[in-house]
Structures are given as structure tokens and as C-alpha cells.
Structure 1
């Protein structure tokens, strides 16, 4: 049967929390990088859509 966290020594709890914090910090860093990459991709798509719209407006004015 698994021990309750209440029954664990403080140092063991500290190590568990430290490990979880480290894992979550790494996950957060990865997600931030992925978001930055996606934002760059989104910005490029938006720029191209703006260029296309400008081209369409020029053609409509001919």
C-alpha cells in the first residue's frame, strides 16, 4: 500500500516537490519556445495575407 504524504519525512517531501517543480519548469520553457515559434509562423501568414489583400485591392481598382 502506498504511503500517505503525511507519513513521509519532510526531506522526502521536499525532494518530491523539487523534482516536480523542475519538471514543470522544463515543460513551461518548452511551451514558451513552441508558442514563440507559432507566433512567428502566424505573423508571417498574416503578413502574406495582408500582401494578398493589397494586391486584390490594386487589381479591383484597375
Structure 2
């Protein structure tokens, strides 16, 4: 017989993320400008390249039931 176990899980993880940012030509400190744009959520797109590390911090079982046919 199959069951469903449903839980809330609190997980911390470290992600390697790549952002696409448009930087004007006249900006001298391009890396600093790009970092500021990311902090302000001002970027065209982003992609998670890798999950470097993750750790389960807390979990709570909220439901356990039989899987119906």
C-alpha cells in the first residue's frame, strides 16, 4: 500500500547564479555597477547554474495519508 507524507521543510542552500545585465559604455566601474543593478533587481534574466551546498534546517510533518487508487 502506498502513502503520501507531506512536510514543510526549511532549507538553506548556496546557489551559483548567472545574471544578464546591460551596462552602459560610459560606466567605468562595470562590475560595481552590475552588482548594484542586481541588488535593485534590475536585470534582464538570471539562471541557476549549480546548487553548491544545501542543508535541511527544520522539518514538520503536516499530513500522512493513504494514496487512493
TM-score interval, smaller chain: under 0.3
User: Higher strand proportion, which one?
Assistant: 2
User: With structure 1 as the length reference, what TM-score do the two structures score?
Assistant: 0.21
Greater fraction of residues in helix: 1
Which of the pair has more CA radius of gyration?
Answer: 1
